[in-house]
Structure 1
Amino acid sequence: MTTSPISPPVFKGALVAVDPLRPTSSVIIFQYNPETMTRTLQARTTGGEAGSGPLRLSGPPEETIKLTIEIDATDRLEAGDPIAETLGIAPALAALELLLYPSSVAVIANEVLARVGVVEILPMAAPLTLLVWGTRRIIPVRVTDFSITEESFDPSLNPIRAKVDLGLRTVSYYDTGMLSAAGALSLAAHIAREVLGTVNTAEGAAAAIRSAAGVGGPS
């Protein structure tokens, strides 16, 4: 289908992993933006149990995000893309999977340390991962799980079409502190929500005033 020349450009969603050990696989742009995103917020509270006192918020809510992304090499195969012809969508799937893998460099370094007698080796830290969803939502997240359904294959059994169901958990300043990069981004998102909530309140108040005055009602 031909896109109208006056259609606005579509912002592509993405996952960005800030990992100096793997800079080449750190940006995963969604080929197609998901049509839906499920966000679940669970209050983080203290007190208020069994009527013992007021409910108090101890921090921002715990938020989980579920979305499904589609990856398809059909258009690239029709255009004769050599990577798609040789590997299908395997590189895109590998980039996603690496979000849950430690760096092989760190794995080898830890093995060397263990063999020379270092007793305590710290677990390898996951990269800072950002869900980029438009210019107003850049959210630090942890990829908690995902399932890949490979739906079609080329003659060499490389996958050429797949759906990936992603499970994410947002990382907040409650988890990392406000001075970390993730904490600063989380606090900025918190403040942006407050601004949007204020806009909604002002808009609702204006609508109520117009309704009371009989302005802008149905004819």
Structure 2
Amino acid sequence: MSGPTKGLLFEYGFSVPPLALVFQFNPQQISRSRTVTIKTGNAPGSRGGYDFMTPLDTPRVAQGVELQAESFSIDILLDATDKMNAGDPVAGRFGVQPQIDTLRSMVEPKAQGPAGLQILASLDVGGARAFQRQETASVLVFGWGQQVLPVFLTGVAQKEVMHLPNLLPFRAEMNLTMQVIESQNPFFTADKLRQTAMSALNAAGA
């Protein structure tokens, strides 16, 4: 029997060591959404789009239609029980706090330092001013199964459900929201090729 499915989230950059998290992942717990914004209200003599008669007219029909970047929402469980039972000293002392802090670091603004190293720059900056000049969001890579996509982590919500005697959690339920970086980059390009291949398989089997 194969082991549990693993998910991977890591920082695409020059940080040493890089931020990375490997976690058990249930594909049934992922939500993906994409929206299209329709702005064709000024089309003459129509409601909801431009007039068309043949497929040759479709480029004009689609004027004003904007595709928004895809977003993800996933729920993961961080649990140090197995490592604690195996005598892991880090898990026994800190539970899953290192993994939680890794996710929190991924969503916080970074300042570019010498030699490309990144350091946290959010200690005295908050609210709407979270990202200042010379600060950037972490570019992350989210992988599960055969899919690997570049993303921004847009939200981290945690629910600590079990704690060690020192009150650090050893089990936590995490909700992560991400936005795909749909630009010219190797990860997104490869996923579009994968998507095209899967669509061809579907057409062949129809």
SS of aligned partner of 2:9: strand
Q: Is the 8 A contact 1:146 1:165 kept in 2?
A: yes
Partner of 2:152: 142
Q: For 1:1-219, what aligned pairs fall within 5 Å after superposition?
A: 7-21=1-15, 23-30=16-23, 32-34=24-26, 35-43=28-36, 47=40, 50-53=47-50, 54-56=61-63, 61-103=68-110, 105=119, 107=121, 122-134=133-145, 136-173=146-183, 178=184, 181=185, 184-204=186-206
Cα separation, 1, equivalents of 2:120 and 2:76: 29
The 3 A distance-change label for structure 1 pair 106 and 8 is closer
Cα gap change, 1:65 to 1:106, in 2 (>3 Å): closer
The CA deviation at 1:57 is 8.1
Q: Supply the AA of the counterpart residue of 1:138.
A: V
Check whether the contact 1:137–1:189 (CA below 8 A) recurs between aligned residues: yes
Question: What letter matches 1:155 in structure 2?
Answer: P
* Cα offset, 1:163, TM superposition: 0.3
Counterpart in 2 of 1:114? Answer: none
Deviation at 1:28, TM superposition (A): 0.5
Structure 1 distance, partners of 2:74, 2:66, is: 25
Relative to total residues, which structure has the larger strand share, 1 or 2? 2
**In structure 2, how many angstroms separate the alpha carbons of the residues matched to 1:141 and 1:72?**
24
The verdict on how the C-alpha distance between 1:40 and 1:57 changes in structure 2, with shifts beyond 3 A counting, is farther
CA distance in structure 2 between the partners assigned to 1:138 and 1:44 by the alignment: 26
Alpha-carbon spacing, 1:193–1:143, altered in 2? closer, same or farther (3 Å): same
Q: Report the CA distance between 1:107 and its aligned residue.
A: 3.2
2:14 is matched by which residue type in structure 1?
P
Structure-2 residue corresponding to 1:118: none
Post-superposition offset of 1:146:
1.7
Deviation at 1:169, TM superposition (A): 1.0
Residue type of the partner of 1:33? F
Letter of the structure 2 residue corresponding to residue 13 of structure 1: G
**Runs of 4 or more consecutive aligned structure 1 residues displaced over 4 Å after TM superposition:** 44-49, 56-61
Relative distance call for 1:44 and 1:55 in structure 2 (3 A) is same
Larger Rg: 1
Contact 1:46/1:55, CA 8 A, preserved across alignment: no
- What is the CA-CA distance between 1:56 and the residue it aligns to? 4.7
Identical positions, percent = 22
Following the alignment from structure 2 to structure 1, what is the Cα–Cα distance between the partners of residues 169 and 36? 40
- Do the aligned partners of 2:8 and 2:144 also contact (CA within 8 Å) in 1? yes
Partner of 2:115: none
TM-score (norm 1): 0.71
More helix by share: 1
Question: What amino acid maps onto 1:83 in structure 2?
Answer: V
Q: Which runs of 5+ in 1 are unaligned?
A: 1-6, 112-120, 205-219
- In structure 1, give the amino acid aligned to 2:195: R
